[in-house]
Structures are given as C-alpha cells and as structure tokens.
Structure 1
C-alpha cells in the first residue's frame, strides 16, 4: 500500500510516491532495462542477467510455470501472449470441468473474485475493516474485560487506529477536492475578464491574488474550516492551486469518484464484498475464469508478468528471463485488500496445477485468517514450490509493523515456513539513496533487495512504460528462481532459496533508511542477508550445487 501524500496536497490526486525519482530521460540507455545490467561492467546494481546470457551457451528444453497471484492480466498483449500458461486438460468454453479440479473452463488460470460469467468484484473492504467487523463483538460486550491485554485485543486496537487514520484522510481528501471542483468553473469564467485566452500562468495568478486577497489562509486551513468562499480572490486562489499541479477538471472528478468509492465501499462496515461472487461459500471453485475483463484491474499483473516472461526474441518492449517460462495468472486482487481464503486457494491451485514458483506482488497490514494462508504455504513447501513476496510500499519496518502474507508468526516471533522469500526494492542509484524511499524493510522479515524503481514494463493494450514499486522487485526474484529450475531441475525448494539469498551481492555501505529524510543506517540493517539479488551469481552457484548433488 502506498504511503499517503503530504496533507498539503490532499486536494489533488497525488501521483504515486513510487514515481518520485522519475526525473531521468526515459530513453537513455542507462534506464532502459537497467535491472538486467551488471555493476562491474555498467556501474549499476542490476541483476546481471545480460552478463549470464552473454556467457551462457547452453539451452534448456524444460518448461517452468510461475503463478502470479495478483490482479487480472492482458492475455492478448503482444509481449506476453505466447508465454501464458495453458491448461491442456481443459477444453475451452464448454462449460464442463474436464479435469475435475472444481474449476470450470480454467484454460489459463482462475479469477477468485469473479462475478457471474465474465465480471469481477472490483471493490473490497480493507482487511482492517473486516477485522473490526468480525472482532468488535468481543470488545463491546459485558465480557470485554477478559480480552484486555490479549494479542487479539492489541490487534483490534491497531485496526481501529488504522481505520481512524484512513477514514480521516479520505474524507478530508474528498472535502478538499470537492472545494476545488466546485470552484473550477466559476473561477474559469471570472478569470476570462483578465485573460480572454485563458493563457494565465501560476505566477500571473499569484500576482493577481496578492493584489486582491482579503486573507491569506492556507488551503489546509480552508479545508478544515470548510471554507467554500466564492469571492474573486478566493476563486483566484483555487485556480492557482489547480494550475500549480497542472490538473484538469476531468482528472479531479475521476479522482474524487475513486476516493468516494473508497469511503463508501473499502471503508464501509456495511459493504458486503462477497455477496456478488457466485458460490463464494464453497471451499473452492467459486469465482470464474475471466482473467482480463476489467480495464483498470489488469494493469498490475501485466506489469509484474512482463518482467518474468516478456518475449526475448520479438524485438518488442520488455525482455523477460526466458521464453520457456510461462505465467499462470490467478486473480485475487481488487481495489482494497485481498481475502485470505482467496490467497490460500490460489496457492493450492498454483501448486496442484504445476507451478514451481509463486509470485505474490501484493501485501496488507492485517490478516484475518493467517492460519489458512500458513497451511497453504506449508502445502507449497511440501510440494517443493518457492513463494516470492513483495515487502510492501509503506516505508515501514515490517519486523515491527506486520505485513501479510508472511512466513513469520508475529504473536510468538517464529518462522512458519522455509519456502518464502520477501523482497525489498532498490534503485539504480549507487549512493546513499540506493534503497527506494517507499520500500518496506526489516532485519528479520525482508530477505533480500532487488531492482524496483524505474523498471521498464508492459502495460495493457500493447503499451510500455516505466513504473516503480516493490511489486516489481519481487518478480526479479521469481524470474531468477524459474531460470534456476529450468537448467537445474534436481534442486529442492530450500536449495533454490538458499542459492538466491547466498549468491546476492553484499552491500557494505550506509544508506538512507526508507521513510526518513536523512537517517543513515547500514544496508545490512534493512534485510536478513544484507544483499541484493544477482541472477548471474545465482546461476553459477546453482550449477555447482546441482553438479555436487549428481556426483554424490
């Protein structure tokens, strides 16, 4: 979850903080696929995938499936189309569960938040809202005192605090944005007297405001006082604020509608986000097979998957890790937080249908049913499947602030499974700002860092761009794990995990701790290994371990 923008800018739809450092020309060689580069050759802490390809002359006829438990995906994207997993046991669109796995027509994967035959549950409660709804009965009745000082009570109080923070933020956001939207057209019409061509600049508006102003309140003060003044200087002031960030009325209206949905659905205790999902009460088989029906909900998985499987030979867009890697898209992510039941069932589906690697580029701060996800992770471990998880984008220490899914039991501080890798994000910068400012971190609960800023990715409708986030760091590790198993299939899940972590490049330097302006810490304090991913090293180590096993 992205950290909120500073309150002063709540009146405008803030750009994702993960794009904060996108000030480099997009077409430069140092930016395009920088995450594939090598530090010794290019002075960039990429994963050295190019170096491995330059030296490797061996081919592999194996196939590896990486399940992406994520949003929907653009199945028809030119750079992904031939790389999507196909369930050969299923006859397409015959309305029959041909392979008897409880999922009808699951030709390319499954949508666990599917509605009807071709729709999706786009909005979902935040998990802390669901947590409060479920547990408030214990803390509001006459027996509430016996729950005080229990782990459940502490988690409940944390959920209440989170709810209050989020609710206040979004309602204030809506109020502020509403003031600007309602003032836009009156301000636009009034200013035509001075600027008939409407070609005014922020500087001109500020000069005009200084001449006519009757007070000098900040915008935050106006919002707090619900000041919707329509006097001439106020209209200048509002237009100046809009102009300063180059926002259009359409963008503000769309942003306001989205935030209104957050308040009325994601933060609404009375909103039932499961009622429309067909047979959601079933243990499995609920949802539908529609993986690309929602225009706004298929971007994220398209980005993530392109890092892993984008065609390397078509001279278009992105280059993935290998053309023998396929992605199995499993949809669980709406606008809001994922349900633990969906996470667990997606893990079971992935394992039972042949995935060797599971990429989970999502996270949430609460887990209502962590035990069922834990059981699914243990099932994956027993079946020799590696799970890769993003650390999250809240600039938080996840040793202290829980983020789920996790291989860590926050109640008794124990590790639950040994087949999960949690990944933080670095940039291409080599100085003290190399750790991306939004990345979560943790000496115990983040295993390794990987490139996650200014990453060139595929977007729906055959488009490409740069994006940032720990969501893009995780598939760097997933792609590496898949590449290892393509060439060295005799390795166990624990061996692949250890190879990835041990072969990373040690960063021996002081860096700025995420979420701070200039607090310096040693890189080794931010993750368990003190390392960043290096695919070249991992492949070399995998070769050695594999040969040793064969000899023995």
Structure 2
C-alpha cells in the first residue's frame, strides 16, 4: 500500500464520544530556512507551519484545517491576569467571560463570591495605574530586613542613572528625526513622502544628504516617530514612577499592600484606563481574537471565554493582587490562567506560591511569561517572580508552565534577542517576537515579548482543552511540553556573543505546536 503523506491526509476515529487522530507528528528540519514574508504572513506568522509555510509558527492554521473541521468543542474559561482589557473590542465580540450569576451595576454581590458586580472579572488596581517597581517600594517603605535590601539600593541607583541617560538619548534622536523629516519635506515640497521618494533625492547639500541617510536608516528598521516617542515615554515613566521612591501609586486604592487579609478593595471596571494601557488587550487577542470576521488578527482559539482580571499596572504588580487574582480565577471557573508579567524582587512570594498551589489543587493550568531580560534563569541571581520554584529549589507544583519567546526566523536567531532562558527554569518556547494583535478602541499593532509567547501557548492549551475537556491541568501541561517541535539548531544565546544548541536553553528544547498537541491529546488518558 502506497505510503500516505502526513501533510495531506487525516483519519478521524470516533470511539466512546472521543476523537483520535492517527496523523504523525510534525518535525523540524535541522537546516536554516529563509523566507520572505508578505503582510498577511507577517500578521499571522505565529499561527503558521514550518513544513507548509517555511515559518516556525505553532501550526495553528494547519490544525484548524486538517484536524478540527466539523468537530464540536466546549468553551474554556481562560483568565487573563494583566492590565485592563478592552472587552468591547470588535475582535473580542462573544469571547469575553460573563458571570451569569451577577446582575450588572446593581451594587450587590448577587453570587456571594465577595466581589460586587463582577460581570466580566475584577479590577484589583481600582483607579490606579502608574506604579513603582518592587525594589523602589522596598526602599520607599524602609523594608531593611528584606534579604535583598542592599542589592535593591545599588540596583536602583544604577537604573536611575541609566534611565536618565537613555531619556536624553531618545530626546536627541527624536529631535534629529523631526528635523530631518522637515528638511526632506521642504526639499520635496510635500508633507508626506515614502522611502522611494527619499531614494530619488539627488543633492550635494550635506544637510539634505545627512537627513536622507538618517531617515533611510530608520525606515530600514521599520522605526518611526511614534516608536521614538514611545521610547521617551518609556524612560520618562521609569524616572517619574518606576524608580521614584517618593511616589506611591497605590494610595488611591486605599488598601494595605502588606496585608493579604485586607481584601475589600478594587472594583469591577476591567477596561483599560487609557489607550496606552494596551497590554491586556493585545494578550487577549492572541488567545481568542475572532478568526473568521475578515478584520484584525486571527486568535488561536475562539472556543474560549476570557475572564478579565486587571492586576498589572504600569510598573511592578503587587504580590497580593496576583495571589488574590489567581484565587479569583480558580473560584470563578477558569481552567487556564495567563500571566504575562514578572519581576526580579518579591516581598511576599509565599502568597503567590500558595495561590499557585491552590490552582494546582483545583486543576487549573497557569501559563507564565519567562521575562525579557535576556538572562539565564537557572542562575540564582536572576530571580524571576512568580515561578513554580523558589530560590533554586525543586518545583512545588505540576500546573505551571514558564514560556520563553521565539522569533519568525528559522536559523541562529530563532530565539528572540530579549527572551530569558534556562535549561531548568524555562519549560518551552513559543512565538513572541512581533506578534500582531489587538489594541484598545478597535486598533491593531505588533508587540514583542515573552508576554506574547505566554498567550500563544495559552491559546494552544485552550484549544486542546476545548476538544479534550477531561484532561487534567497536569496532563495538559505534559501534552503541551511533550508535543512541541524539537529544534535542532545552533542558536545565539540572548544577551551573549556566542551560540549554543537550542536544546540547552529550555527544559524541552522545543517550540509549542498545536497540531502535535491535538494528536497527543487524542491518544492520552486523563491523569
């Protein structure tokens, strides 16, 4: 009998109301692959397939077309603990969780869960948003008994100096960009122009030549004035809020951040507070943005209900908010929790550790972003919170996945340059570099970070669980990790000037793959 190509044929076997796929696993080449992306593929690369598209995505589109056509799925509640979410976004229509036991805006805790009017989730930040970092609070609140107090002081001094230097730099190059744009605009006689117009300029004027070279340089790297202004805002926020020991953004909330039993705070306003509070919306779009409405992006799985938990400010999150946020998600029906945040200092890690254990006890998977510091998390000095281990000790739960970020390049650059890594403390990689998704007010944009890699994995995990709802959290984790695609490449180590094998930078040496995960899930028993 002629061998049937795994690229073309799928057999579905129905048995005991379950589905089993007999397809073979997808694998990766050990050779570098170069491909030129059109705009459509750029916007959806994380969902594409290495074999069919020559792009190291997660084979999501292939899973939908070859495996899932005609199959019924159950909705999975996915909690997104993050910044505010634009729950009214056109591309989240129908995928936002609704607490049906709660009557909207009546000022009554109808379901007696301790939260009034929590129709779509809970806002632990109240009316606050701008915040300090944890190390700044340690110094501000005079926590001299904290084991890393002296390190916090020295780190803060260095960071303040670096931020001030970076702000001056960004202000200068932004002024240079604006001046160059005006010079070229005056020369061409029009306000708007393209790179092709710039290339046609032929002038011996040194000022025009310098302006032409500067704008061509930025255009070649897809950088514009908005990007430069974001840099100014970023470093201004660091100086004014993140590293400012005289600032306290929590005052307006009115709770005691060092008392886990002080829980009567926050409100039900889970929306973003301003357009720049976009992180939670972008994350949510990666997971569940509407796939077939011909607008925006393609989320990974539409069989989800996204529970909005606003707990991540413009600064470091509070251990208290995260611990309570996890417990809220678990108690209100979430089966997966996405946590695209992290920090290097934690004053009350035990609260979050107990919450993670609580989620494990109640069969809830937690997906966490590994961080964007280009550091080896196996080194004890590179602490990253929250995590499923503490100070290098053994993992204390079986429901926690730590995700690094991969890129669109299938070569030595496949790991995103910013991503943290670690043979022991990063479980797997997923697409996280220049991922296209939702922004507040029906807008869309590319963003990068392990913050994008986590929802990429969460989307796949929710897809698997929606078709195989009897899987336990620990079994779902096992399936996601085991079914990833092995990458047999020598790659650049983030933050280093040398290479190593991809397999040495995470526990699995793999990139998440939806196609393989569904196949493995179909053959697995709940454990």
Match of 1:165 in 2: 158
Superposition TM-score, scaled by structure 2 size: 0.81
Which digits, 9 at most, give the CA deviation of each residue in 1:134-193, with x for residues without a partner?
55534xxxxxxxxxxxxx54x2333223212211012223455667899999x99xx99x
Aligned partner (choices 383, 389, 394) of residue 402 of structure 1: 383
Alpha-carbon contact 1:35-1:45 (below 8 Å) kept = yes
Superposition TM-score, scaled by structure 1 size: 0.77
1:385–1:253 CA distance, 2 compared to 1 (3 A): closer
Query: Partners of 2:441 and 2:245 in 1: how far apart?
Result: 36
Which digits, 9 at most, give the CA deviation of each residue in 1:462-490, with x for residues without a partner?
22233222111111211122122212222
Aligned partner (choices 77, 80, 88) of residue 76 of structure 1: 88
Alpha-carbon deviation of 1:424? Answer: 0.7
Give the 5 Å matches for 1:113-132: 113-115=125-127, 121-132=128-139
Alpha-carbon contact 1:71-1:297 (below 8 Å) kept = no
Match of 1:141 in 2: none
1:57–1:198 CA distance, 2 compared to 1 (3 A): closer
Query: Partners of 1:198 and 1:79 in 2: how far apart?
Result: 36
Larger Rg: 1
Of the structure 1 ranges 387-396 and 281-290, higher mean CA displacement relative to structure 2 is found in: 281-290
3-state SS in 1 of match to 2:446: strand
Give the 5 Å matches for 1:117-516: 121-134=128-141, 136-138=143-145, 153=147, 155-175=148-168, 207=206, 256=232, 259-279=235-255, 283-400=262-379, 401-410=382-391, 413-516=393-496
Match of 1:90 in 2: 102
Consecutive unaligned residues in structure 2, runs of 5 or more: 1-34, 192-197
Of the structure 1 ranges 261-270 and 89-98, higher mean CA displacement relative to structure 2 is found in: 261-270
1:434–1:132 CA distance, 2 compared to 1 (3 A): same
1:84–1:181 CA distance, 2 compared to 1 (3 A): closer
Of the structure 1 ranges 464-473 and 327-336, higher mean CA displacement relative to structure 2 is found in: 464-473
1:29–1:276 CA distance, 2 compared to 1 (3 A): closer
Alpha-carbon deviation of 1:316? Answer: 2.0
Query: Partners of 1:487 and 1:413 in 2: how far apart?
Result: 35
Of the structure 1 ranges 241-250 and 346-355, higher mean CA displacement relative to structure 2 is found in: 241-250
Alpha-carbon deviation of 1:454? Answer: 2.7
3-state SS in 2 of match to 1:79: helix
Consecutive unaligned residues in structure 1, runs of 5 or more: 1-23, 116-120, 139-151, 211-235
Alpha-carbon deviation of 1:319? Answer: 2.0
3-state SS in 2 of match to 1:481: helix
Alpha-carbon deviation of 1:522? Answer: 0.7
Aligned partner (choices 55, 62, 65) of residue 51 of structure 1: 62
Query: Partners of 1:484 and 1:466 in 2: how far apart?
Result: 26
Alpha-carbon deviation of 1:240? Answer: 10
Alpha-carbon contact 2:177-2:214 (below 8 Å) kept = no
| Alignment root-mean-square deviation, CA | 3.5
Alpha-carbon contact 1:308-1:475 (below 8 Å) kept = yes
1:182–1:63 CA distance, 2 compared to 1 (3 A): closer
Alpha-carbon deviation of 1:529? Answer: 0.7
Query: Partners of 2:512 and 2:173 in 1: how far apart?
Result: 46
